[in-house]
DNA sequence: GTTCTGACTGCGA
DNA sequence: GTCGCAGCCAGAA
């Protein structure tokens, strides 16, 4: 009995992202049980204000930061990602693309 | 009730 | 690699 709301699941999915790792909006939505609601995730993240929420780990499917460079949150996301060991260059995440799925991350073998 | 917009996604050029 | 178009869904006016 799903008493949890869509927003609650989305937030939970974002919190499920391990540190130093990134996930896509669509993936987060799918993980929350809301496939196709990537935009809803974006809206929630943009509205959320919880420092405990790793929203900075949420990127676009291309592995790019979904936040416009004109937005102050953009620099903040980059700074946070770098602080976690994620390589960000010119608004893009380097070292590894946005995980197609969290399962893939768990299955992802140590790269060399 | 309808209409518009959006921190998206996928495909094609 | 970048850019543009169309599709999809939800929330707000």
pLDDT tens digits for range A36-92: 899 999 999 988 888 889 999 999 988 899 998 888 899 999 999 999 988 898 888
Helix A38-47, helix A6-15: angle, nearest 10: 80
Contact between A25 and A42 (Cβ < 8 Å): yes
Confirm whether A19 is domain-assigned.
yes
Which token pair is A90?
Answer: 């010119």
pLDDT tens digits for range A92-103: 888 666 655 555
Which token pair is A6?
Answer: 């869509």
Confirm whether A67 is domain-assigned.
yes
Confirm whether A112 is domain-assigned.
no
Q: Please state whether strand B lies within 7 Å of residue A22 at its CB atom.
A: no
Confirm whether A104 is domain-assigned.
no
Q: Please state whether strand B lies within 7 Å of residue A10 at its CB atom.
A: no
Predicted confidence at residue A47, as pLDDT, reads 85
Q: What is the pTM of this model?
A: 0.86
DSSP string, A2-66: --S-HHHHHHHHHHTSPTT--EEHHHHHHHTT-TT-HHHHHHHHHH---TTS-GGGEE-TTSB--
What is the tally of structural domains in chain A?
Answer: 1
Predicted confidence at residue A55, as pLDDT, reads 93
Predicted confidence at residue A42, as pLDDT, reads 92
Q: For residue A86, which phi and psi values (nearest 5 degrees)?
A: -85, 135
Q: For residue A34, which nucleotide's C1' is closest to its Cα?
A: C9
Confirm whether A110 is domain-assigned.
no
Q: Which residue is nearest to nucleotide C10 (CA to C1')?
A: A40
Check which CATH number belongs to the domain holding A59 and give it. Answer: 1.10.10.10
Contact between A73 and A36 (Cβ < 8 Å): no
Q: Please state whether strand B lies within 7 Å of residue A39 at its CB atom.
A: yes
Confirm whether A38 is domain-assigned.
yes
User: Could you list the residue range(s) of the whole structural domain that residue A69 is in?
Assistant: 6-98
Predicted confidence at residue A79, as pLDDT, reads 92
């Amino acid at each position: 009995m799903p008493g949890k709301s869509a927003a609650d699941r989305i937030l939970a999915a974002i919190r499920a992202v391990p540190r130093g790792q990134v996930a896509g909006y669509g993936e987060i939505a799918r993980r929350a049980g809301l496939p196709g609601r990537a935009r809803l995730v974006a809206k929630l993240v943009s509205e959320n204000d919880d420092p405990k929420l790793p929203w900075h780990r949420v990127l676009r499917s291309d592995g790019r930061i979904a936040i416009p460079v004109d937005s102050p949150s953009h620099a903040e996301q980059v700074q946070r990602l770098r602080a976690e060991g994620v390589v960000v260059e010119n608004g893009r995440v380097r070292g590894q693309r946005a995980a197609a799925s969290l399962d893939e991350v768990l299955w992802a073998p140590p790269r060399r």
